[in-house]
């Protein structure tokens, strides 16, 4: 069995390791095929690919795009993208610009909740990143002693209904699929069970994604329980989607799963990577 990991992050977005270090760690962990999928950016792919080639690791160019669907943020991973495709670059630049203004609103909200200096603090943690995200705010809040770890900062400050959460419009599902398909990529629903939507809404989303040419969903996912994985497998079979394998690694000590430490793929599914390598 090959070890396939098609979802992880570097310091280009909210990961803790630079792209080359992510690739080295993947090799150390026995990964056979890796995709780097930073949030809303492709800036780490050159370094990652060069390192992968040096070390003989099969590598796919990827990105994880932020999408607004109804009132929910959903993440769509694009794989085997052409990283310098002009429309993709423009779309990602617009997503990042939206992040900048969202970051200002998050900082204002935190200030009102009695936590000053959050924009500067988050930007300090994002110093190698071309995006600023909630994970950077979370690291600042941990540093300030507001909560003991990143996970509890999210639970108490950075999710809907909590003081540091602000609504944000990303791009539509259609726009994300056009960017990914326009750049020659395939689209994959990231960590399907992690969204704050009902199961019936999730099914509606998956149906829409499939109808618009989406290819796959993550099934063997580091962030999923065994029960979630069984559920995703059933959904993938039902909707005729292929299956992906993903750690969603962000850094040592800050992730559900380390690189390549992905659960076993259930039987009866078509792996998305067969058509990509
Ligand atoms: P953003 O795209 O800026 O809204 O941030 C989303 C990122 O925040 C995810 O990719 C994770 O890295 C992190 N994140 C979201 N929810 C949690 C959580 N409950 N615990 C830890 N990290 C989280
Ligand atoms: Mn992240
Ligand atoms: Mn995600
Ligand atoms: Mn991710």
Tell me the residues surrounding ligand 3 (ion) with CB < 5 Å: 75, 190
For residue 154, the 8-state DSSP code is I
Burial of residue 161 (number of CB atoms within 10 Å: 0-12, 13-18, 19+): exposed
Question: Which ligand lies nearest the alpha carbon of 256?
Answer: 1
Protein residue whose Cα sits closest to atom 9 of ligand 1: 135
Ligand 1 binding pocket, CB closer than 6 Å: 14, 39, 66, 133-135, 150-151, 154, 250
CB 65 within 8 A of CB 171: yes
List Cβ neighbours of 160 (8 Å cut-off, separation of 6 or more): 167, 196
Q: Which two tokens stand for residue 100?
A: 């900048």
C-beta atoms surrounding 39 within 10 Å: 23
Q: What is the pLDDT along the chain (277 residues), one digit of tens a residue?
A: 799 999 999 999 999 999 999 999 999 999 999 999 999 999 999 999 999 999 999 999 999 999 999 999 999 999 999 999 999 999 999 999 999 999 999 999 999 999 999 999 999 999 999 999 999 999 999 999 999 999 999 999 999 999 999 999 999 999 999 999 999 999 999 999 999 999 999 999 999 999 999 999 999 999 899 999 999 999 999 999 999 999 999 999 888 999 999 999 999 999 999 999 8
- Cross-strand pairs, 216: 188, 242
CA distance 256 to 45: 23
Q: Which two tokens stand for residue 124?
A: 């300090």
pLDDT score for 1: 75
- Cross-strand pairs, 58: 33
Provide the pairing of β-strand 4-5 with 58-69: unpaired
Ligand 3 centroid to residue 133 C-alpha, Å:
11
What pTM was estimated for this model as a whole? 0.98
CA gyration radius for the chain?
18
Protein residue whose Cα sits closest to atom 20 of ligand 1: 151
pLDDT score for 253: 86
Helix (H) or strand (E) holding 75: strand 72-79
pLDDT score for 76: 99
Ligand 1 centroid to residue 137 C-alpha, Å:
10
């Amino acid at each position: 069995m090959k070890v396939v990991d098609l979802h992880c992050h570097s310091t280009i977005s909210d990961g803790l390791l630079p792209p080359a270090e992510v690739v080295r760690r993947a090799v150390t962990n026995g990964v056979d095929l890796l995709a780097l999928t930073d949030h809303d950016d492709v800036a780490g792919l050159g370094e990652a690919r060069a390192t992968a080639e040096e070390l003989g690791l099969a590598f796919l160019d990827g990105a994880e795009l932020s999408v607004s669907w109804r009132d929910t943020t959903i993440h769509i991973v694009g794989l085997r993208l052409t990283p310098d495709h002009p429309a993709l670059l423009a779309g990602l630049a617009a997503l990042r610009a939206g992040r900048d203004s969202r970051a200002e609103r998050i900082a204002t909200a935190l200030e009102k909740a009695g936590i000053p200096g959050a924009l500067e603090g988050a930007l300090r943690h994002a110093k190698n990143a071309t995006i600023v995200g909630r994970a950077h705010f979370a690291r600042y809040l941990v540093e300030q002693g507001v909560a003991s770890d990143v996970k509890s900062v999210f639970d108490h400050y950075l999710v809907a209904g909590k003081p540091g959460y602000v609504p944000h419009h990303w791009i539509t599902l259609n726009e994300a699929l056009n960017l990914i398909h326009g750049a020659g990529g395939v689209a994959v629903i990231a960590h399907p069970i992690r969204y704050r939507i009902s199961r019936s809404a999730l099914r509606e989303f998956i149906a829409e994604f499939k109808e618009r040419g989406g290819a796959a969903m993550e099934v063997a996912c580091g962030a999923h329980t065994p029960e979630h994985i069984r559920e995703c497998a059933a959904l993938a079979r039902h909707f005729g989607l292929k299956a992906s394998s993903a750690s969603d690694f962000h850094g040592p000590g800050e992730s559900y799963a380390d690189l390549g430490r992905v659960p076993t793929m259930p039987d009866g599914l078509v792996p998305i990577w067969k058509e990509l390598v």
